[in-house]
C-alpha cells in the first residue's frame, strides 16, 4: 500500500523522439487510477517506467516516499499484469503463481498458503495442476492476476489486461477487478485505450495524448468538464458534437445553430461542443433550437440515435426512443445549454 | 474440405464439384511425390543393406537387386568377419568418447552464448554476431594446418596427452566444438529471439536474475531446438572421418569407428563386402539417438503463454 508520484517525468528515446513529456501525477494510496489515451500516447511507457522495465530520462518516480528511478524492477514491490498475460507456458498454474515467491526464497509452506489463498479468491482451485495451454482466455487472465496477488505488492500495474478477452467476459472481468481492488485495498494503476473501461473502473482517470497529460480527474469531472477538445472528444460514446462557431456579443453562431453562451468567453472564434444527450426532441420556448436533416437512425431499444446535418455540420442526437423519425426527415431539436462547452480555436482549451 | 465434412447434406452436394476434385487430386499428387521421393532416397541404402548379406563373389558379379529373386543366397559371414577382423569394440568406445563430449560442450556453450546474443545488451553485440555468422562460410579444410600446428605446439596430441594422463580425445573435443559453435549459436539465438519478450519482462518483475531466467524459462522452452541441435551435432561428429583422421591420425587407441572402417578395406578395394556390413553397423547408433530424441519435438510448446 503506497502512493505513487510522477514528478516531471520524461521519457526520451532519441533527441527527436520523446514519448512522455513532463508527466506529473500523484496517485493516492489505495486508489484505482486509470491511464487512458489512444495507442501510442505514452501511457504504456509511463507504466513501464514505474515497473522498472524502461529507464526514466528525466524527473522522478516515487513509490510512497522512496524514489525508485534506480531501483531494480524486482525491488520496487510492484506486480504487473501484462496484456498478453505472459504466463510461463511450461509451468503449471500453481508453479506460475509460486514463481515470484520462489524468487524471494520464501518458505515452501508460506508459498503454498499464499498460492492456495490467491487461487481461492480467483476461483482457480481446480486448475492448479493444469498448464496454461489447457486454460481458457479468462482463466489465463486470472492466473496472471493470481501471480500478481500472491506477492501482496504495494502497487498493482495492469497493462490493458482485458483487451484479449471477448466482449462478454470483458464486462464480467471488469466487475471482478473492481471487487478485487476493494478486497485487496491496494493501489491499482490500470492502462487502457478503452474509454468505457476508464469511465467504469477508475476512481480517477488520467488522459494522455501524444505523450502529454491532458487532464486528471474523476470520471464525472472529466465527462462533465473536459479540459480541452481532445478530452471532450475522447471520452463519451457516441462522441461529443463539435461545430465551429463565431462569437458575437455573447452569442455563438454556427452554420445551423445559434446559442447564447452562459458566460463570456473572451474569444471570437472557436468550437461549440455538446454531447448527443444534450440534444432533445423538446424545444423550449426562447431556447436554442436546430433543424436536423436526418441521415441515419439507430434504435437501440433504450435509446435512439439520430445522425444528421445541422446547417453544414454533422450532429449526433440521442433522443427519446418513442420519437418517430425516419432517414430523410427534417426534425426540429432543442439543446440543453447546461451541458455545453466552448473550446478556443487556437489553444483548443475549454473556455466553458 | 471443411465444408464438405461439416454435414452429410453438404458433403453430397460438394462431392465431385471442381473444388472437391482439385482438393482430392492435390492430396493424391502430394502423396505420390512424397512417397516417390522417399523411395528414391532409400534405394541406395536398401541396396547397401542387401549387399551386406550377400557373398563376396555375388557382389562382384551381379547387382544387388538380383538377390531379390530366387534362388536366395544370403549370409551373415560379412558381419562375423567384420567383428573378427577389426578392433570394433575399442573403436565404438572411442566413438562414444569423442561424440558425447563433442556434442555436449558446443551445445552448452552455444546455449549460453545464444542467450546473450538474443536477450542481453552489450556493446558490439550485432557486429560480433555478424562475424560469427561469417564463420559459417569458412571451409573446414582451411583450418587443418594452422590448428594442427597449434595443437602440436600446445602438446595436444594423443600421444602426449596419454603420457601426461589426460584423455587423448581432447583435440577432437576442441576441434568439433569449434566447428560446431557458429552454427549452434546461430540456430539457438534465432530460436531464443523468437521467445515472447513479455515472458522476460514478467520474470524480471518477478525477481528472476539472468541465470534463473536462462535455466528456468529459456532452456525448458527451447527443448525442441536444443534436441534438434544435439541430433545434428551428434550425427556430424559420429559420421566424421576427416577431422578424426587429421587430429588423431591413425592412433588405434583413439580412432573412432569411421577410421577403423576405412582401414578394413584394402587399398585396392578388396574386402568391399566388409565395408557394407560395417557401414550398416555404424548407422545403428545415430538411428537410436534420433529416435530417442524424437519425442522432444513437441509442437506448440509455447501454446498458452501469451495468446488470448
Confidence (pLDDT) at B305: 57
Environment class of A319 (CB within 10 Å of its CB; exposed 0-12, middle 13-18, buried 19+): buried
| pLDDT classification of A339: cutoffs 50, 70, 90 | confident
| pLDDT classification of A170: cutoffs 50, 70, 90 | confident
Confidence (pLDDT) at A15: 87
Confidence (pLDDT) at B269: 65
Measured in whole angstroms, how far is the alpha carbon of residue B177 from the centre of its chain?
A: 14
Retrieve residue B182's grid coordinates: 557458429
**Distance (Å, rounded) from C-alpha A263 to C-alpha A271?**
15
Beta carbon pairs, A and B, within 8 Å? 90
pLDDT along chain B (308 residues), means of 10: 40 65 82 93 87 81 78 79 77 89 94 93 92 90 90 86 85 92 92 90 90 92 87 89 83 82 70 79 82 69 52
Residue A100 in contact with partner chain B when CB distance is under 8 A:
yes
Is the dihedral angle over the CA atoms A107, A113, A117, A119 positive or is it negative? positive
What domains sit in chain A, N to C, each tagged with a CATH number? 4-232 (3.40.50.300), 238-344 (2.40.50.140)
Q: What is this structure's pTM?
A: 0.79
Return the residue of A nearest to B198 by Cα. A86
| pLDDT classification of A218: cutoffs 50, 70, 90 | very high
Retrieve residue B61's grid coordinates: 558379379
Q: Is the pLDDT of residue A12 over 70?
A: yes
Contact B304 A134 (CB under 8 A): yes
Contact B301 A51 (CB under 8 A): no
Q: B181-204: buried (b, 16+ CB within 10 Å) or exposed (e) per residue?
A: bbbbbbbbbebbeebbebbbbbbb
Confidence (pLDDT) at A144: 92
| pLDDT classification of A155: cutoffs 50, 70, 90 | very high
Retrieve residue A120's grid coordinates: 481461492
Contact A74 B204 (CB under 8 A): yes
Confidence (pLDDT) at A31: 94
Among A66-75, A180-189, B58-67, the range scoring the smallest mean pLDDT is B58-67
What domains sit in chain B, N to C, each tagged with a CATH number? 2-77 (no CATH), 82-296 (1.10.3720.10)
Contact A53 B204 (CB under 8 A): yes
Confidence (pLDDT) at B2: 38
Which chain B residues have a beta carbon less than 8 Å from that of A165? 308
Confidence (pLDDT) at B12: 47
Residue B121 in contact with partner chain A when CB distance is under 8 A:
no
The DSSP annotation for A293-312 comes to: EEEEEEE-SS-EEEEEEETT
pLDDT tens-digit profile of A227-284?
999 999 999 888 999 999 999 888 889 888 888 888 888 888 999 999 999 998 888 8
Contact A86 B204 (CB under 8 A): no
Amino acid at each position: 500500500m503506497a502512493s505513487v508520484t510522477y514528478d516531471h517525468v520524461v521519457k526520451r528515446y532519441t533527441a527527436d523522439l520523446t514519448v512522455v513529456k513532463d508527466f506529473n501525477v500523484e496517485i493516492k494510496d489505495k486508489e484505482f487510477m486509470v491511464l487512458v489515451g489512444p495507442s501510442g500516447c505514452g501511457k504504456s511507457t509511463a507504466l513501464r517506467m514505474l515497473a522498472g522495465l524502461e529507464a526514466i530520462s528525466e524527473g522522478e518516480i516515487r513509490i510512497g516516499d522512496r524514489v525508485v528511478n534506480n531501483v531494480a524492477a524486482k525491488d520496487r514491490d510492484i506486480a504487473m499484469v501484462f496484456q498478453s498475460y505472459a504466463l510461463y507456458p511450461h509451468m503449471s498454474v500453481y508453479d506460475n503463481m509460486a514463481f515470484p515467491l520462489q524468487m524471494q526464497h520464501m518458505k515452501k509452506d508460506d508459498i503454498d498458503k499464499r498460492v492456495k489463498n490467491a487461487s481461492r479468491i480467483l476461483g482457480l482451485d481446480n486448475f492448479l495442476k493444469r498448464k496454461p495451454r489447457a486454460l481458457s482466455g479468462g482463466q489465463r487472465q486470472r492466473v496472471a492476476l493470481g501471480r500478481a496477488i500472491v506477492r501482496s505488492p504495494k502497487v498493482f500495474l495492469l497493462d490493458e489486461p482485458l483487451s484479449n478477452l471477448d466482449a462478454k467476459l470483458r464486462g464480467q472481468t471488469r466487475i471482478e477487478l473492481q471487487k478485487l481492488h476493494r478486497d485487496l485495498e491496494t493501489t491499482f494503476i490500470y492502462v487502457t485505450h478503452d474509454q468505457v473501461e476508464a469511465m467504469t473502473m477508475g476512481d480517477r482517470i488520467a488522459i494522455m495524448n501524444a505523450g502529454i497529460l491532458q487532464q486528471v480527474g474523476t470520471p464525472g469531472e472529466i465527462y462533465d468538464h473536459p479540459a480541452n477538445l481532445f478530452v471532450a472528444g475522447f471520452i463519451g460514446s457516441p462522441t461529443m458534437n463539435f461545430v465551429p462557431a463565431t462569437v458575437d456579443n455573447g452569442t455563438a453562431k454556427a452554420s445551423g445553430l445559434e446559442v447564447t453562451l452562459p458566460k463570456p468567453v473572451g474569444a471570437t472564434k472557436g468550437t461549440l461542443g455538446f454531447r448527443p444527450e444534450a440534444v432533445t426532441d423538446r424545444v423550449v420556448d426562447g431556447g436554442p433550437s436546430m433543424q436536423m436533416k436526418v441521415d441515419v437512425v439507430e434504435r437501440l431499444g433504450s435509446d435512439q440515435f439520430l445522425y444528421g446535418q445541422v446547417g453544414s455540420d454533422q450532429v449526433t442526437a440521442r433522443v427519446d426512443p418513442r420519437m418517430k423519425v425516419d432517414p430523410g426527415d427534417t426534425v426540429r431539436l432543442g439543446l440543453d445549454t447546461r451541458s455545453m462547452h466552448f473550446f478556443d480555436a487556437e489553444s483548443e482549451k475549454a473556455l466553458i | 474440405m471443411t465444408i464438405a465434412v461439416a454435414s452429410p447434406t453438404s458433403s453430397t452436394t460438394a462431392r465431385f464439384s471442381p473444388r472437391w476434385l482439385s482438393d482430392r487430386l492435390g492430396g493424391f499428387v502430394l502423396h505420390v511425390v512424397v512417397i516417390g521421393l522417399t523411395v528414391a532416397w532409400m534405394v541406395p541404402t536398401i541396396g547397401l543393406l542387401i549387399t551386406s548379406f550377400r557373398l563376396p563373389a555375388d557382389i562382384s558379379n551381379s547387382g544387388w537387386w538380383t538377390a531379390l529373386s530366387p534362388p536366395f543366397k544370403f549370409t551373415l559371414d560379412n558381419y562375423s568377419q567384420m567383428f573378427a577382423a577389426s578392433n570394433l569394440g575399442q573403436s565404438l568406445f572411442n566413438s562414444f568418447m569423442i561424440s558425447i563430449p563433442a556434442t555436449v560442450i558446443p551445445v552448452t556453450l552455444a546455449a549460453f552464448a545464444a542467450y546473450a546474443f538474443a536477450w542481453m545488451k552489450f556493446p558490439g553485440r550485432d557486429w560480433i554476431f555478424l562475424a560469427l555468422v561469417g564463420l559459417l562460410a569458412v571451409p573446414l579444410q582451411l583450418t587443418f594446418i594452422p590448428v594442427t600446428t597449434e595443437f602440436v605446439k600446445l602438446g595436444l596430441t594423443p600421444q602426449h596427452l596419454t603420457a601426461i594422463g589426460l584423455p587423448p580425445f581432447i583435440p577432437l573435443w576442441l576441434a568439433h566444438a569449434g566447428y560446431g559453435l557458429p552454427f549452434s549459436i546461430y540456430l539457438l539465438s534465432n530460436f531464443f529471439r523468437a521467445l515472447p519478450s513479455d515472458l522476460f519482462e514478467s520474470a524480471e518483475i518477478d525477481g528472476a536474475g539472468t541465470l534463473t531466467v536462462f535455466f528456468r524459462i529459456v532452456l525448458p522452452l527451447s527443448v525442441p531446438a536444443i534436441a534438434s541441435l544435439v541430433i545434428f551435432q551428434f550425427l556430424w561428429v559420429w559420421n566424421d572421418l576427416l577431422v578424426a583422421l587429421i587430429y588423431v591420425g591413425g592412433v588405434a587407441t583413439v580412432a573412432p569407428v569411421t577410421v577403423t572402417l576405412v582401414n578394413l578395406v584394402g587399398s585396392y578395394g578388396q574386402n568391399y563386402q566388409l565395408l557394407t556390413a560395417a557401414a550398416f553397423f555404424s548407422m545403428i547408433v545415430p538411428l537410436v539417438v534420433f529416435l530417442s530424441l524424437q519425442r522432444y519435438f513437441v509442437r506448440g510448446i509455447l501454446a498458452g503463454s501469451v495468446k488470448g
